[in-house]
Amino acid sequence: MNYRHGYHAGNFADVVKHVALVAILTHLKKKDAAFAVIDSHAGRGLYDLAGEAARKTGEAANGIGRLRGLVPPLPPALAAYLELAGEGPYPGSPLIAARLLRPQDRLVAIEKHAQEAAALRDVLAPWRKASVEEADGYARLPKLLPPPQRRGGILMDPPFEAPDEFARLAAAVRAAHRRFANGIYLIWYPVKAPAEAQGFVGEVLAGCSGPALTIEIAIDAPEGRLSRAGLLVLNPPYGFAEEMAAVLARLEPALAARTRLEQRAE
């Protein structure tokens, strides 16, 4: 394993992904009925932004580090994200979810790599509603679907280390959607070659009916670093597109970013 999220935690792409996650979970909490969150590629859950990895890339400084001075009023999801992530060690997606869930809700966080899974277990130990599985997220996810609660969100955020990761991810999303068509799916992807990213989105959308949207964000990054990333959201909650448009309008100047949001209504 080469990929370590500690080098990238809190960067521009993490910021957008995590605000979207907060918006989705906030929506799910509007009803009393319990819901499930499944994080198929969860990471270690907490990242020291003052540590060597984060300082080496400087990515967090150009992401969350640029947001601390944002002046209210902020869109609610952005304000809630900053409350969770604005100070101290940076929370990864499973910790953000654990902090937002109610006693009746459940989180399953899947992480393949032993060290990361062990660290995540420690981070999530205080939350009885959260469990960590050391497993291959692609193999494990379909076995967890549909969740007993029959409502919930699925985050798929692989490291894109393997050359066939787009193909594997597209197949996994389609298979998951067949088992749980009503779930809200939040899928992260890098945009290194735009045609490849577009092909991935097209392949997923062709296999998954229903409303969907994509968000892309681009920054001017140093040579060799990721400068553009996307989110594909299947079954986005009511009002999500409008809220994310307001979030992006605040993030653009703060991160010196360009963004794009496109919807498919069905």
Ligand X SMILES: C[S@@+](CC[C@H](N)C(=O)[O-])C[C@H]1O[C@@H](n2cnc3c(N)ncnc32)[C@H](O)[C@@H]1O
Question: Please, which residues bridge with residue 188 across strands?
Answer: 231
116 binds ligand X, rule: CB under 6 A: yes
* 111 lies in the binding site for ligand X (CB under 6 A): yes
| Choices 50-58, 110-118, 177-185, 220-228 (CB under 6 A): range interacting with ligand X | 110-118
User: Which residue has its beta carbon closest to ligand X?
Assistant: 92
Interface pattern 150-189 for ligand X (x via CB under 6 A): -------xxx------------------------------
Note whether 5 binds ligand X by CB under 6 A: yes
Q: How far is the CB of 266 from ligand X (least distance, A)?
A: 27
Q: Which of 36, 42, 100, 208 binds ligand X (CB under 6 A)?
A: 42
Q: Is 33 exposed, middle or buried (0-12, 13-18, 19+ CB in 10 A)?
A: exposed
Question: How far from the centroid of its chain's Cα atoms is residue 57's Cα?
Answer: 20
DSSP codes joined into one string, the chain: ----GGGTTTSHHHHHHHHHHHHHHHHHTTSSS--EEEESS---SEE-TTSHHHHHH-TTTTTGGGTTTPPSP--HHHHHHHHHHSSSSEE-HHHHHHHH--TT-EEEEEE-SHHHHHHHHHHHTT-TTEEEEES-HHHHGGGG-S-TTS-EEEEE-----STTHHHHHHHHHHHHHHH-TTSEEEEEEE-SSHHHHHHHHHHHHHH--S-EEEEEEE----TTS--EEEEEEESPPTTHHHHHHHHHHHHHHHHT-EEEEEEE--
Taking the complex as a whole, how short is the minimal distance between the CB of residue 42 and ligand X, in angstroms? 6
Nearest approach, Cβ of residue 33 and ligand X (Å): 25
Beta bridge partners of 261: 215
31 or 135: CB nearest ligand X: 135
Whether 122 is catalytic: no
Number of residues that bind ligand X (CB under 6 A): 21
Please choose, out of 39-47, 58-66, 144-152, 200-208, the segment that lies near ligand X by the rule CB under 6 A. 39-47
Distances from the Cα of 249 to the Cαs of 199, 239, 257, in angstroms?
27, 16, 10
174 or 264: CB nearest ligand X: 174
The residue among 30 and 56 lying less far from ligand X, judged by its C-beta, is 56
Question: 14, 39, 105, 157: which one is catalytic?
Answer: 157
| Distance of closest approach, residue 113 Cβ to ligand X, in angstroms | 4
Nearer to ligand X, 43 or 72 (CB): 43
- Residues 3, 74, 127, 264: which binds ligand X (CB under 6 A)? 3
Nearer to ligand X, 113 or 151 (CB): 113
Cite the active site residues. Answer: 157
Residues of this chain that interact with ligand X (CB under 6 A) are: 1, 3, 5, 17, 39, 41-43, 92-93, 110-113, 116, 136-138, 157-159
